[in-house]
Structure 1
Amino acid sequence: MKFAVIVFPGSNCDIDMLKAVEDTVGQPVDYVWHTATDLSAYDAILVPGGFSYGDYLRCGAIAQFAPVMSEIRKAAEQGKFVLGVCNGFQILTEAGLLPGALIRNKSLKFRCHPVDLRVENTKTAFTNGYEHGDLIRIPIAHGEGNFYCDDETLAKLQANEQIVFRYAGDNPNGSVDDIAGICNEEGNVVGMMPHPERAVSELLGSADGAGMFKSVLNAWRERNGAASVR
């Protein structure tokens, strides 16, 4: 399985993401610059956190127009696996690959600390290794992680089981319905504000994020008739 880690000007979690893939599943992984026009060689596309294009205008607002985004849209439509974390989540919403928007934290403060998440959907490519209701500890680092959508969109997310993670206990940013992560209707595109790539070893304070990388490898292996990994 081949992973691509997309790098925009201002990305700063790309190294964390690449190392997480290497350390958890040991599969081939490349950095791919935002000007790339061909992602056909990759099975999973990871859009990392940071401050793409300096977060000018709005988080992810400029990145959505990068040449690589048309390839990410194509990959998503083909059923390939796409994960956007933090700024990556913001980019996926700006690009229309996921519904809703990420706005300023209700506190108007940057929040950077571990949080508890409840796994709400285990049917996605990135969460099939968890049990429904699992509590996992994953760090956050954002100033604009407040997920917002209108009532109609929220009802659709709830009805289609597109809410992947909710904050358990303290909601650090004011997100509607305590939403920390969502997916598209097909379950191959996931966006979340917490950073699973920073929670892949107990040395980092938690290894709970490792399951996301193992899950997507299992999803790919199942699709290709290979044995799963534990």
Structure 2
Amino acid sequence: MTVAILRFGGSNCDRDAERALAHLDIDAEIVWHEDGLPADATGVVLPGGFSYGDYLRAGAMAARSPIMAEVREAAAEGVPVLGICNGAQIGCESGLTEGAFTTNESARFQCEHVFLRVERADTPWTAAYDEGDVIEVPIAHGEGRYEIDDERLDDLEDDDRILFRYCDEDGETGPDVNPNGSKHNVAGVLGDRETVAVLMPHPERATLPDVGPTDGQGVLRGFESA
């Protein structure tokens, strides 16, 4: 079992993801995007960072890298794919998931710990939690506001494809606990398959017990259960 962590020019959380997965005894390797997706990859991480300096739009250029066609094909065959922060932007830009991530409502870079409410617990990424659980993970982004038109958001809601929402420590949502202005407090969504997910917060930064909370471990363990 080897999870491919894709590295683009400007990626800077690939090593964080590799270290977090290693801590969970999940085999992973960093793959330079021009080398293509390994044929034996059993999972894919699109890590955080600032791929191509967020030129045009965050994630827009990396989404057009040839390797992303391979990732879409793998995802369609059931290979688990997780996009984190810039990886979530790449995931949306490449069509793996609906919507887009754009400039924070504050127009500032937000770096802080937030609470997330688990909206459903029957996916690989949330199997370690119960529905309604509240987990604490960090964010670090300037373009993390999730946007989507109302009709498609209704479809996501009806299809139960909202994975996480920003909330307070009691699980209550609202504008006062929404760090970036994301529509309906959405922090993470699923693709057409439950094995594909993107989220703006960083579970890999809430995995190692010597650096802080470990609530993010359950998300990364999705590579074991997918």
Both proteins in one fold, TM over 0.5: yes
Residue number in structure 2 paired with 1:60:
59
* Equivalent residues of 2:207, 2:214 under 8 A apart: yes
What pairs with 1:1-230 in structure 2 (closer than 5 Å)?
A: 1-24=1-24, 26-169=25-168, 170-219=177-226
Q: What SS does the corresponding residue of 1:198 show, helix, strand or coil?
A: helix
Q: What is the root-mean-square deviation in Å for CA atoms of aligned residues? A: 1.0
The letter of the residue matching 1:2 is T
Query: Is the 1:160–1:185 Cα contact (8 Å) retained in structure 2?
Result: no
- In structure 2, the CA distance between the partners of 1:109 and 1:79, relative to structure 1 (3 Å rule), is same
Structure 1 gaps of 5+ residues are 220-230
User: Partner letter of residue 93 of structure 1?
Assistant: C
Q: Is the 8 A contact 1:36 1:67 kept in 2?
A: no
1:215 to partner: Cα distance: 3.2
Instruction: Please list every run of 5 or more consecutive structure 2 residues that lacks an aligned counterpart in the other structure.
Output: 169-176
Aligned-pair identity in percent equals 45
TM-score (norm 2): 0.94
Q: In the alignment, which residue of structure 2 is the partner of 1:222? A: none
User: Cα deviations across residues 36-90 of structure 1 (Å, max 9, x unaligned)?
Assistant: 3343211110000000011111101111111211110111110110000000000
Provide the rounded CA distance (Å) in 2 between the counterparts of 1:108 and 1:204.
Answer: 28
The answer to whether the Cα contact below 8 Å between 1:39 and 1:72 also exists between their aligned partners in 2 is no
Moved over 3 A (4+): none
Provide, for residues 157-195 of structure 1, a one-character-per-residue CA deviation record: whole Å limited to 9, x for no partner: 101110000001310000001000000132111000000
| C-alpha distance in structure 2 between counterparts of 1:38 and 1:145, whole Å | 27
**TM-score, with length taken from structure 1:** 0.92
Residue identity opposite 1:79 in structure 2: G
C-alpha deviations, 1:121-141, integer Å up to 9, x for none? 212221111110110000000
| C-alpha contact 2:37 2:71 (8 A) present in aligned 1 | no
Counterpart Cα distance in 2 of 1:62 and 1:15: 21
